[in-house]
């Protein structure tokens, strides 16, 4: 794969950094029950950091805006991002809060349950975001999620819009959004649960997914990408609606699949792919992720994605 002359999108991620404590378990324990697990891993994670790593491994120039605590987990996360070539100039250490931690249980079917202690992520302020305004304004794309305070996320999106930067927003975990925020979002990426919570419409199948997507478009989102796991992805823009099927693989761990989709999609669009083709490429990246354990340990490189797509479809990665 020749990537030497490829476009290198400039991406800034405003978001969370966690240390993931991952337990393998044959099944999820019932309330009050203790069961014996099959293994344990400590893996850098956090939705923001995962999406930044996904974009960097697909060839973007990535900068990160976030908070860590003054502890070993924070230092490990900072070093991990640095090894990916991600600019951490706007990573701030909070002296009073611990770094974010996630306890993740993964069962034999690859499904996970997560308990999150946000720690320093919860104190990322609008002032911290303002300090990174030049970096955000100089990017091609801004990626945000909701593991950081919504006021800070909204300020980052406002700065992006002021400078003509395209906004990729993953409203996870779902929360009530400020009025008008979606009108500043170019690509809204969310799953069935998040779509249900944001619209009040139960997303159970393609028909209800399309109804929810239409409601989100009516609130101003430029494009809605509603991920439905094995059911594929609904791609909806004004006047256009299409389901992109999921890529069939044997799932080992679904952690970071959605984050990989976000990062890979952003880079694919930044390289000039149309939205449907970019979604297909991001679907393959997410599928490859679920065949591996952990968050950032599972996210594929551009070369790995190229090989995977060629092995399944015989296509080149653009």
pLDDT above 90 for 114: no
Q: Which two tokens stand for residue 81?
A: 């991002």
Work out the number of other CB atoms within 10 angstroms of the CB of residue 2: 6
CA–CA gap between residue 205 and residue 59 (Å, rounded): 34
pLDDT above 70 for 190: yes
Please name which of 110, 125, 90 lies closest in space to residue 24, comparing C-alpha atoms. Answer: 110
pTM: 0.92
State the residue range of the domain holding 305: 10-28+40-313
pLDDT above 90 for 127: yes
Would the annotation count 88 as a binding residue?
Answer: no
DSSP string, 42-104: EEEE-HHHHHHHHHHHTT-EEEEEEEEESSHHHHHHHHHHHHTT-EEEEEEEESSSPPEEEEE
Among 34-43, 61-70, 141-150, 307-316, the range scoring the smallest mean pLDDT is 307-316
CA–CA gap between residue 140 and residue 12 (Å, rounded): 8
Please name which of 95, 63, 97, 98 lies closest in space to residue 82, comparing C-alpha atoms. Answer: 63
Q: Assess if residue 96 is contained within a domain.
A: yes
Q: Assess if residue 318 is contained within a domain.
A: no
CA–CA gap between residue 61 and residue 144 (Å, rounded): 16
Position 218 scores a pLDDT of: 97
pLDDT above 60 for 314: no
Position 3 scores a pLDDT of: 37
Write down the catalytic residue from 259, 274, 276, 277: 259
pLDDT above 70 for 87: yes
CA–CA gap between residue 90 and residue 106 (Å, rounded): 32
Across all residues in the chain, what is the average pLDDT?
A: 93
Work out the number of other CB atoms within 10 angstroms of the CB of residue 202: 12
Would the annotation count 59 as a binding residue?
Answer: no
Would the annotation count 229 as a binding residue?
Answer: yes
Residue 4 pLDDT level (bands cut at 50, 70, 90):
very low
Q: Assess if residue 189 is contained within a domain.
A: yes
The stretch 211-222 carries a mean pLDDT of: 97
Q: Assess if residue 143 is contained within a domain.
A: yes
Please name which of 42, 20, 48 lies closest in space to residue 104, comparing C-alpha atoms. Answer: 20
Would the annotation count 70 as a binding residue?
Answer: no
Q: Assess if residue 210 is contained within a domain.
A: yes
Rg (CA), the chain: 18
Would the annotation count 253 as a binding residue?
Answer: yes
Q: Assess if residue 175 is contained within a domain.
A: yes
Number of folded domains in the chain? 1
Helices 47-57/72-83 angle, 10° precision: 20
Q: What are phi and psi of 228, to 5 degrees?
A: -130, 35
The stretch 82-88 carries a mean pLDDT of: 97
Helix (H) or strand (E) holding 241: strand 240-244
pLDDT above 70 for 315: no
Would the annotation count 152 as a binding residue?
Answer: no
Percent of the chain exceeding pLDDT 70 equals 97
Q: Assess if residue 33 is contained within a domain.
A: no
pLDDT above 60 for 310: yes
Q: Which CATH number fits the domain that encloses residue 243?
A: 3.40.1190.20
259 is catalytic: yes
Would the annotation count 5 as a binding residue?
Answer: no
Q: Assess if residue 131 is contained within a domain.
A: yes
């Amino acid at each position: 794969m020749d990537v030497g002359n490829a476009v290198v999108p400039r991406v800034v991620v405003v978001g969370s950094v966690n240390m993931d404590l991952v337990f393998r378990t044959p099944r999820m324990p019932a309330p009050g029950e203790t069961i014996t697990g099959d293994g344990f891993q400590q893996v850098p994670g956090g939705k923001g950091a995962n999406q930044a790593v996904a974009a960097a491994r697909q060839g973007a120039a990535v900068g990160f805006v976030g908070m860590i605590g003054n502890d070993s987990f924070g230092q490990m996360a900072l070093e991990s991002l640095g090894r990916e070539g991600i600019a951490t100039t706007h990573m701030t250490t909070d002296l009073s809060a611990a770094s974010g931690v996630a306890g993740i249980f993964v069962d034999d079917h690859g499904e996970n349950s997560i308990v999150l202690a946000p720690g320093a992520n919860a104190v990322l302020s609008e002032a911290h975001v303002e300090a990174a305004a030049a970096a955000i304004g100089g990017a091609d794309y801004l990626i945000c999620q909701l593991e950081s305070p919504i006021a800070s996320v909204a300020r980052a999106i406002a700065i992006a819009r002021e400078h003509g930067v395209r906004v990729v927003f993953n409203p996870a975990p779902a929360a009530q959004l400020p009025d008008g925020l979606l009108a500043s979002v170019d690509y809204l990426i969310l799953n069935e649960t998040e779509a249900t919570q944001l619209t009040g419409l139960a997303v159970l199948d393609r028909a209800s997914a399309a109804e929810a997507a239409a409601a989100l478009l009516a609130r101003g989102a430029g494009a809605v990408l509603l991920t439905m796991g094995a059911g594929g992805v609904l791609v909806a823009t004004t006047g256009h609606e299409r389901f992109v099927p999921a890529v069939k693989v044997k799932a080992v761990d679904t952690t970071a699949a959605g984050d990989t989709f976000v990062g890979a999609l952003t880079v694919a669009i930044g390289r000039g792919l149309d939205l449907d083709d970019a979604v297909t490429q991001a679907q393959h990246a997410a599928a490859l992720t679920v065949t591996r354990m952990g968050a950032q340990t599972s996210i594929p490189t551009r070369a790995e994605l190229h090989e995977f797509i060629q092995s399944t479809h015989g296509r080149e990665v653009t």
